């Protein structure tokens, strides 16, 4: 059930203000109680994904966790995903892109990373959301990760009717580390080699301790996001079409 069928925008504004003081677990309880199996979380299974995956395993273990297998992940990421699935008994759903003519090009990231992300990530995620009538989409993004994310709220209605929920929006990197240590949870196998934020192998480089955590992503461009957080038909698709016409 889409957010606009379930809540008025004014309800969401009120809830959003309340959620600014609520714990991530309380927010997850609300999501599951309100949307049930129409709510999913997407995860890239990196170190900073661990606290929220752990919370979901405690609060709403039936929630589907969507992993987009672009075909270009580090093998360590796939192994870490499987390790966490087994340890937390996650309800994992792996989705993969479908390619049209000429689209399955593993070098596309170099010259046109926006198109590559659209084909390998955004389009298949959006298809999954539509096919399964998903109304609430949980992510682990945080305001402190990049300047572009500095204004995200715990609840963010999307123009396409899906409600984004970011339970860790106000968490700092230190809180992520503290949670992992407190619960004795694992980190991604490449984390201690400088891969603080990890996406596809070709687009991720290790960073120094003093760098921003996402500085190693698409480091040869000014790209900062894969486009998943944008409404696909309003941004990514039109942007790509504009580039090719």
Window 203-242: residues binding ligand SF4 (CB under 6 A): 203, 226
- Of 124 and 163, CB closest to ligand SF4: 124
Q: How many CB atoms lie within 10 A of CB 58?
A: 11
- Of 36 and 202, CB closest to ligand SF4: 202
Window 106-125: residues binding ligand SF4 (CB under 6 A): 109, 113, 116-117, 120-121
Q: 105 with 229: CB under 8 angstroms?
A: no
The angle subtended at Cα 153 by Cα 149 and Cα 131, nearest 5°, is 90
Q: 32 with 39: CB under 8 angstroms?
A: yes
Residue 212 backbone dihedrals phi, psi, to 5 degrees: -65, 150
Smallest gap, in angstroms, from Cβ of residue 143 to ligand SF4?
A: 22
Q: Is 200 annotated as catalytic? A: no
Smallest gap, in angstroms, from Cβ of residue 181 to ligand SF4?
A: 29
User: Contact between 95 and ligand SF4 (CB under 6 A)?
Assistant: no
Smallest gap, in angstroms, from Cβ of residue 124 to ligand SF4?
A: 10
| Alpha helical stretches, state H, the chain | 3-6, 9-19, 24-35, 50-59, 75-88, 108-111, 113-117, 123-131, 173-182, 236-244
Q: 223 with 120: CB under 8 angstroms?
A: no
Q: Considering the candidates 117, 200, 203, 226, report the single residue annotated as catalytic.
A: 226
Which residue number places its CB atom closest to ligand SF4?
200
Smallest gap, in angstroms, from Cβ of residue 123 to ligand SF4?
A: 11
Mode of pairing for the β-strands spanning 64-68 and 39-42: parallel
Buried b (16+ CB within 10 A) or exposed e, 17-55: eebeeeebeebbebbbebbeebbbbbbbbbbbbbbbbbb
# residues contacting ligand SF4 (CB under 6 A) = 13
- Exactly one of 42, 48, 70, 85 binds ligand SF4 (CB under 6 A); that residue is 70
Binding mask 30-69 for ligand SF4 (x = CB under 6 A): ----------------------------------------
Catalytic amino acids?
Answer: 226
Q: What are the residues binding ligand SF4 (CB under 6 A)?
A: 70, 72, 109, 113, 116-117, 120-121, 199-200, 202-203, 226
């Amino acid at each position: 059930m889409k957010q606009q069928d379930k809540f008025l925008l004014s309800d969401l504004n009120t809830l959003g203000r309340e959620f600014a003081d609520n714990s991530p677990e309380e927010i997850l309880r609300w999501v599951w109680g309100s949307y049930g199996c129409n709510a999913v979380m997407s995860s890239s299974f990196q170190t900073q994904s661990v606290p929220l995956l752990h919370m979901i395993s405690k609060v709403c273990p039936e929630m589907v966790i969507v992993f987009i297998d672009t075909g270009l992940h580090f093998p360590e990421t796939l192994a870490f995903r499987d390790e966490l699935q087994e340890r937390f008994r996650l309800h994992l759903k792996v989705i993969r892109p479908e390619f049209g003519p000429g689209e399955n090009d593993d070098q596309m990231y170099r010259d046109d990373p926006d198109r590559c992300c659209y084909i390998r990530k955004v389009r298949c995620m959006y298809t999954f959301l539509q096919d399964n009538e998903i109304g609430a989409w949980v992510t682990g993004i945080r305001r402190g990760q990049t300047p572009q994310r500095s204004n995200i709220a715990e609840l963010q209605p999307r123009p396409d009717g899906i409600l984004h929920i970011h339970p860790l929006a106000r968490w700092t990197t230190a809180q992520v580390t503290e949670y992992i240590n407190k619960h004795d949870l694992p980190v991604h196998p490449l984390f201690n080699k400088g891969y603080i934020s990890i996406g596809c192998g070709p687009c991720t480089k290790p960073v120094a301790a003093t760098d921003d955590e996402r500085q190693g992503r698409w480091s040869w461009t000014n790209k900062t996001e894969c486009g998943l957080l944008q409404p696909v038909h309003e941004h990514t698709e039109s942007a790509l079409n504009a580039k090719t016409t």
